[in-house]
Amino acid sequence: MAVARSITSAAENNGTIPDRVFSLLREAIVEGDIPAGSKISEPELARVYGISRGPLREAIGRLEACGLVVRRRNVGARVVTLSSTQLIEIYHIREALEGMAARLAAQHMSAEEIADLRSLLSQHGQQIERDIDHAYFQREGDLDFHYRIVQGSHNAHMIDLLCNDLYHLVRLYRYQFGMSSKRGPRAFVEHEHIVDAIERRDAEMAEVMMRAHIRASRENVERMLKGVNRP
């Protein structure tokens, strides 16, 4: 990794130091640049970023609040290693929260937001047809979609919860487990059905479809974890 040459002189010079270093560390952790289970050394990172340990500790504290690192007293912080049970737990939470988000989105999304969502979906459809960047769709494209639905809920607390915390954990898991099931096309169809329901302002159906979508994803993961991939 290229030296992080004095974070204060970085392009985005707005925001406080903990803000910037928090974002940087979060991205580094989520994308696997800092391996799972590895130690977060305060002196080392302070040296790397050219800052003092004070702001750094605040950034690490926020990472802990997100669930991306775990801290032990007088020992330090380590990047979390997601267990399979933790993964399933997150899926259950997503099923509940995003189901509600879809319900609220059906009630509150503006026509423009829905149109944008449709165009995003059509992009995904083209990607699937051409089979380009299949892995990428699996990873970021899927989250893009869910991200928009959550935004559409217009529930600030829910947006914060999912977009600032949970989704980063999801991304971390995807990098850690490197999963890329063949659910891509199937997931795409489910996405379409969800948007259909939102467009019809059918809140009940939107929630049901979203929950089914996430539940299917969870069950898929559960099958893979059990190693029961019968051909």
Partner DNA sequence: CTACGCAATATTGTCGACAATACTAGCCTC
Partner DNA sequence: GAGGCTAGTATTGTCGACAATATTGCGTAG
Strands 69-72 and 39-40: unpaired
Q: How far is the C-alpha of 111 from the C-alpha of 102, rounded, in Å?
A: 15
Structural tokens at position 126: 């083209």
Q: How far is the CB of 97 from a second copy (least distance, A)?
A: 5
123, 134, 136, 137, 216 from 130: Cα distances, Å? 11, 9, 13, 12, 25
Site string for a second copy, 60-99 (x = CB under 8 A): -xx--x-x-----x------------x--xx-xx-xxx-x
26 binds a second copy (CB under 8 A): no
* Sole binder of a second copy in the list 1, 112, 129, 157 (CB under 8 A): 157
In a 13 Å sphere around the CA of 10, the CA atoms on its Cβ side amount to: 20
Q: Which does 37 bind (CB under 5 to 8 A by kind): DNA, a second copy, none?
A: none
25 binds a second copy (CB under 8 A): no
152 binds a second copy (CB under 8 A): no
What single-letter amino acid sits at 105? Answer: A
Q: How far is the CB of 76 from DNA (least distance, A)?
A: 3
DSSP notation for 193-217: HHHHHHHTT-HHHHHHHHHHHHHHH
230 binds DNA (CB under 7 A): no
Q: How far is the CB of 124 from a second copy (least distance, A)?
A: 26
54 binds DNA (CB under 7 A): yes
198 binds DNA (CB under 7 A): no
| Nearest residue to 22 via CA among 174, 30, 141, 35 | 30
* Sole binder of DNA in the list 30, 51, 97, 121 (CB under 7 A): 51
Q: Which pairs with CB-CB distance under 8 Å and at least 24 residues apart come from 13-17?
A: 16/55, 17/51, 17/55, 17/59
Q: Which does 230 bind (CB under 5 to 8 A by kind): DNA, a second copy, none?
A: none
* Sole binder of DNA in the list 30, 68, 77, 80 (CB under 7 A): 77
Binding residues vs DNA (CB under 7 A)? 8, 16-18, 39-44, 50-55, 57, 71-77
